[in-house]
Structure 1
């Protein structure tokens, strides 16, 4: 923080230490306003605040750090025992920093498994705060952050909630209420139904008299003026009655009745919006929980029949039970409302960061969160008016008219979203940090929901904007806040006194990659152990909840078990830059430099590296939709499928034989060529094998190298010197020569010597001929001339040509990688001039997507008579409590039929049958809440068809035949 009129507290960077955060520009600031020479600034000191932190993950560590920098010494943290119950060695890494046991408080779980447990937990947390002298509670972006009952209980207990108040939580946090508020203040909303519970109640009690009778029969507390108000519609009256039933803890209809009403409403929407899908959202969901999409079978049907609609709507009841179960809203008296919305297919997910004090509300730019899967965000980037204006100016200078038009449209949409978000924030009395979320469809946008909490990706906004709070009586008296966590603490303590701040531009762009415990197909993979994590590079911002804090006694890395009881996030990796391209380049460097090792450890690190480089190779200003990631993964799966057919070593040996045959007439030349190829063997094959082994790395590499080759009549032609590309490939793979690193991780010294000699040879020639590094084709053409060039004599020219031939021979092998792109039509998935992303239609085929998922992550090894778990997690045999199991012993099942549910990192995943068969025996004792490990047998079965394993020798033969066909195109 910078403070006061003379900047007497303008902070210089703190001394570099071995601390994880020494390279983090967002922290290590002196935020102690009480030290300012300005009386007005000092009045906003927060040292007396005593917060209890009741969230987990990176935000808990961030809050601890920021509070300490603000001079807040009396804070505590809440730990859930669920992490260590699921995985015994999953101790909270924050405890390496907070060693005072008196400030660490434990509960079985943050929210409890039922409504009764949740109420009990709320009381327990409040009592912990009171018993330990805390005056406030911070819930971050955790489970309790958007719980209006929790916040109301905190307020009633005389404590402060560091976040939006309960009134704002009710008005904006519940998706149905927020949508109604949006409509009243002229905010664009998605078409749909926000009161299906009211309609369900009316279906059961279809008149005003019948509804009033329910109130009397159940003894509900509903204001008589409401009951007598004839101006209220039946649906409005039903809503009021339902609110009273929640207060009393009553259900006025069954879940089955609700499911049938949702089915009816969905069928009607399918009729009104032919060819569209419907999104079902539990009003208490968030972070991807409690959402399902219905109607995939109708997407291609412009005029669906009544039978088509009935069949699609028939799936609604099951999905309703899923979303309610996922947000734990199945208890008696729970608000079970579900939004039924038109699913905008070609949509981007944009959100606006908001901050308010109940009187003023300010928008802090946007974030594009479209790159997500299963509603879980993966890569988030800043979207600001300043940033878009800069990109428009650059595109105009480059003469990119279509790009200019697309960016100007984005700028207009952003301005409208910011205006609407501030209007909405004021309408609900926003008095802390929140996020106004929208879906963007080209030049239109629709309000989606408000997250009444700080977001996981809030640091992206902190990178591009800071807040300047100025004394209303003296414009030279001010302080600057660069942390939203700090701003929330200031608002909790000094809400009404804080003047509306001015947003100050910081860096041109920011980006965040969520490092998650997921496998190559982005499926959750919990329970791995991190044993080593490379230190952050300069400028890297790594929020990892303290995993990288070294042992204070030895300075060594301490292993950490990823619990995964709640979510898959390991860390947040952020970068900033002058513009988006700069931030993407820096993010690529961070991802490339990150080395993460462990036992049974799977992360999305390589996915992020490939994805970031895909955009660098295409256009970082591209407009991907929320449907981008799954087709992209499918394409990556096709790369893997094709790469699996190749044998690099066989290809190299076959190439040697080709050249031996070619020069068979001159034994001396043939011997020389053989020796040269032997020297180049590992130089060429080692990086190729790495790329072929990991399709995400290959996808990124192909993207940034797509302009380095072309195909002419089926033959590969290099447009750049392949040795330059080879050097860049070693750098791309983080394998550049470094004598301090293990030789297995870098280019070998003799290979590096050969490569550097070759590069120097061409550099000297370019200098002699006055050519640029990009003039490879021209240089190659000159070296092919019999007549000496550049003033060289004939003898020297022949030696130069011989050296050129020696350096270039065999490099053809590297071209196999480009042929994989051609065979898989990799470059058909592209960014157009108007920044829209073209996704080939075949990549959206569900069967192909499922098949490529298995290619990316082959199923666990299993016997032909077993069904095993695809991963670790919590096993459930039925869809919801009280419902029958998916299958029973002796029953026949069809391929694709759900067999059980696996809860992994707060998401419920139905596991389909990989083949048809009969259940002989169920091997799990119990139906729900059972922890299982990856590959654990669940059923003994008799398959309908016998599995035939492919002979390894036949596989090897097939690989050699395919490799031979590739060689024909490069030799």
Structure 2
């Protein structure tokens, strides 16, 4: 059998090895008769369309939400342009409803569209209704082939309470907590079987009496039977207040049993970071408030909605890992793991593969280099991975998994706990499929097989031929892969809707970019099509991936991808710089570091501290001071020549320095990879390498290399390039002529008046003079490490056991809040108004049943909630920055779209706000800069 390497577009999308055998057995797994309707959006929609086409599936269609109409201005999205038949584009108000009634309407509409347009299958991707048991069951009843786990699996594994019970029955480790708060709430009101039967009779609930009479079934499970029937009937048997009372009691017990841990509240239908809140130690009184927030966020506040909320111990040192698992209802296999610990507000940011092959290689390297502690940690990681894969396989078999799903765990040192199973394809599934492929072999003929490298393709095969597919073996493609989620967020990683992408550099060789086709140019004009980042959906723009032979290799490729990626537009904010800084932080520290889910906020706080210090630097003042200092002690002639040399280099030195001071995320990455370039001796920055070479590296790090014809704003200027190249050539020649193993040795020689062997005295004098000229002014670069020293930047570091040391001050919530505002300063407001911190949808109350937070005439204290803004599917409560009185509410009603900087309230503050004059600010900056210069000159 011949297998060919197939590349649809190696620079932008995926590569896949497809079986090309003509054997009858392989041909029997043809899927071209499938006619799927795609009911999702984003990168997964474009990916599904591409995979279907590659598989020979030609009849497929998509839903198109009305909210999608604004993302491309005066142009068709790539998905629409590739669908030449307009009848295969089906317009709907949105991809799901805002409540249970609208969701049922959308399900019925999807079934009607499928029947009317000859579709026989449904692909839901991720998000929206991908894990909605009712939707899946409705498709099955309608005779449609759902490309994903069946409704039984979605129920048993997808609902977090059911999944936890199944895990306990199958010997899978779970976190301490309760998963049946609704059942306990019901039993408070109806405490025995007789009461439950009476309740069923009262409401006409069709519950099997035999189950209620079965003594082998627990009373809590019997209550769940009654609740399930009530949900189907669309009635409520408990109120949110009654449920909250039960949860408050559970939280109190949990905090009493585990006084050092926080408690997590989690909706059973949440996902993607939604529907979860963490209660601080001793904060049980906030339980009811957070329960309402959770239910609002997952839109389960309607009559008859299952409002169950789990209470779980929050493992404080947790790493979030997940196992990719798939099955056909008979066999179940795993494809390694992914570490998703680098996240914020439950939103994943950077996801890294975890494979047996990679861990074994890392263990061998650690042992070879004498890192015994690191090797021991990696061996434990390997054992944990193998245990989780075994549990994932057993759990998948227990729930009858017949498609692709993800087994999610939290890892705490040498322990791990099952968290939930996502019964859908994950956003980060590409991290796995780039590491492993699936080989399906004819049971009767070993040489007859086909290889699948796409999990979406595997889903299709399982949907069409599941029972007939033999158990596959996994084939290694790459040891490691990493994915960076490019999101529309500001510098503090808060969602930022409404921006327009006007240009995006092409993908590089080795970069894999999944972006629903945003970066593809118009095929007729080759012009980039502007794309509007609508706030109706989550903040993801694209998924950037790289692969390698080791984690370091993979991260270095990702760093290069991020370095060379350029994106510009109007009101555009992304986390591109954050990723560049973060990836380089790990490269500079230890690529095998084991961050927990609590790492990002302290790291972000540290970056904010960098910016806070950078804001205090008057770079022009520092330049003048350094120049004057370097002219001291020279004759008038020498000083004049030196001054000329210094002035020629002003823009050469100042442009990259200013860019680093303005971009704290990039500065963080620069400091991390250059941490060994200097030493602090008696309070002075002393370079361990030639500052000229460091300057050249800095231009490269900033993607400002000299490129003839490129825009001047994005590269080193011509005359600066000439000066820098002349200096580099000088030191290259000098290093060739002198026996100096490093910069410190070379400096020592250059400080000596006696000429080295083989060089005349006059030549040596010229060399030393040239050296002084080339080095003139470079002391300004010491401002960067001086900032790092001022905030103890390197105190955040990796321990020998690969855990991360987080200084206590970075865990201070007040500091975290202040530094977030440094990264993204609040919009300038007058003293008598409060402006919107971000764009989004405004809500003045916690839920429709509650009163508004503030009305005209109300007094409010600093820290009181003022309003909620929904940005890109996340609900953010905004608190008062100071105390005052509301004079007028400027937003008329809930559910209206607001813009960043829009006035929301007219207020009278309790205290007069002092305004510092620009002159005072400038004087303070000069004073602080002078302090920094003590480490420089």
Q: Is the 8 A contact 2:13 2:514 kept in 1?
A: no
Aligned counterpart for 2:11 among listed residues 23, 32, 44: 23
Q: Is the 8 A contact 1:87 1:563 kept in 2?
A: no
| Number of the residue aligned with 1:114 | 99
The answer to whether the aligner puts 1:463 opposite 2:434 as a matched pair is yes
Distance 1:903 1:542 in 2: 28
Instruction: Give the deviation of 1:30 after TM superposition.
Output: 7.5
| Number of the residue aligned with 1:373 | 344
Distance 1:380 1:720 in 2: 34
**Runs of 5+ unmatched residues, structure 1:** 15-20, 299-308
The answer to whether the aligner puts 1:785 opposite 2:742 as a matched pair is no
Q: Is the 8 A contact 1:466 1:503 kept in 2?
A: yes
1:625-645: CA deviation from partner (whole Å, max 9, x where unpaired)? 000111111111110000001
Q: Is the 8 A contact 1:351 1:437 kept in 2?
A: yes
Instruction: Give the deviation of 1:314 after TM superposition.
Output: 1.3
Distance 2:444 2:740 in 1: 64
Aligned counterpart for 1:416 among listed residues 387, 400, 404: 387
| Number of the residue aligned with 2:5 | 11
Distance 2:808 2:760 in 1: 59
When normalised by structure 2's length, the TM-score is 0.98
Structure 1 residues 12 and 275: CA distance shift in structure 2, 3 A: closer
| Number of the residue aligned with 1:499 | 470
Structure 1 residues 900 and 84: CA distance shift in structure 2, 3 A: farther
Instruction: Give the deviation of 1:811 after TM superposition.
Output: 1.1
Question: Equivalences for 1:72-221 in 2 at 5 Å?
Answer: 72-84=57-69, 92-221=77-206
Q: Is the 8 A contact 2:842 2:895 kept in 1?
A: yes
Structure 1 residues 361 and 627: CA distance shift in structure 2, 3 A: same
Distance 2:252 2:156 in 1: 29
The answer to whether the aligner puts 1:741 opposite 2:710 as a matched pair is yes
| Number of the residue aligned with 1:906 | 873
| Number of the residue aligned with 1:633 | 604
Question: Equivalences for 1:42-441 in 2 at 5 Å?
Answer: 42-84=27-69, 92-294=77-279, 296=280, 298=281, 309=282, 312-441=283-412
**Runs of 5+ unmatched residues, structure 2:** none
Distance 2:462 2:44 in 1: 18
Question: Equivalences for 1:611-760 in 2 at 5 Å?
Answer: 611-663=582-634, 666-760=635-729
1:597-654: CA deviation from partner (whole Å, max 9, x where unpaired)? 0000000000000000100110111000000111111111110000001121221122
1:916-966: CA deviation from partner (whole Å, max 9, x where unpaired)? 10111111111x211111111111111111111110011111111111222
Distance 1:466 1:360 in 2: 17
| Number of the residue aligned with 1:303 | none
Q: Is the 8 A contact 1:25 1:539 kept in 2?
A: no
Task: Kindly tell me the number of residue pairs found equivalent between the two proteins.
Answer: 937
Instruction: Give the deviation of 1:855 after TM superposition.
Output: 0.5
Distance 1:383 1:830 in 2: 22
| Number of the residue aligned with 1:863 | 830
Instruction: Give the deviation of 1:231 after TM superposition.
Output: 3.0
Q: Is the 8 A contact 1:168 1:430 kept in 2?
A: yes
Q: Is the 8 A contact 1:517 1:570 kept in 2?
A: yes
Distance 2:818 2:921 in 1: 19
When normalised by structure 1's length, the TM-score is 0.95
| Number of the residue aligned with 1:302 | none
Q: Is the 8 A contact 1:26 1:482 kept in 2?
A: no
The alignment partner of 1:707 has SS state of coil
| Number of the residue aligned with 1:40 | 25
RMSD: 1.4
| Number of the residue aligned with 2:524 | 553
The alignment partner of 1:111 has SS state of coil
Aligned counterpart for 1:918 among listed residues 854, 868, 885: 885
Q: Is the 8 A contact 1:30 1:70 kept in 2?
A: no
Q: Is the 8 A contact 1:96 1:549 kept in 2?
A: no
Greater alpha carbon shift after TM alignment, 78-87 vs 559-568? 78-87
The answer to whether the aligner puts 1:968 opposite 2:934 as a matched pair is yes
Distance 2:74 2:348 in 1: 28
Aligned counterpart for 1:947 among listed residues 913, 919, 922: 913
Aligned counterpart for 1:853 among listed residues 796, 820, 823: 820
Distance 2:832 2:633 in 1: 53
Distance 1:498 1:693 in 2: 56
Aligned counterpart for 1:841 among listed residues 779, 786, 808: 808
Distance 2:78 2:571 in 1: 19
Q: Is the 8 A contact 1:86 1:931 kept in 2?
A: no
Question: Equivalences for 1:868-879 in 2 at 5 Å?
Answer: 868-879=835-846
Distance 1:697 1:286 in 2: 31
The answer to whether the aligner puts 1:826 opposite 2:820 as a matched pair is no
Q: Is the 8 A contact 2:100 2:302 kept in 1?
A: yes
Q: Is the 8 A contact 1:30 1:69 kept in 2?
A: no
Q: Is the 8 A contact 1:86 1:565 kept in 2?
A: no
The answer to whether the aligner puts 1:958 opposite 2:886 as a matched pair is no
Instruction: Give the deviation of 1:771 after TM superposition.
Output: 4.6
Distance 1:41 1:24 in 2: 29
Q: Is the 8 A contact 2:502 2:569 kept in 1?
A: yes
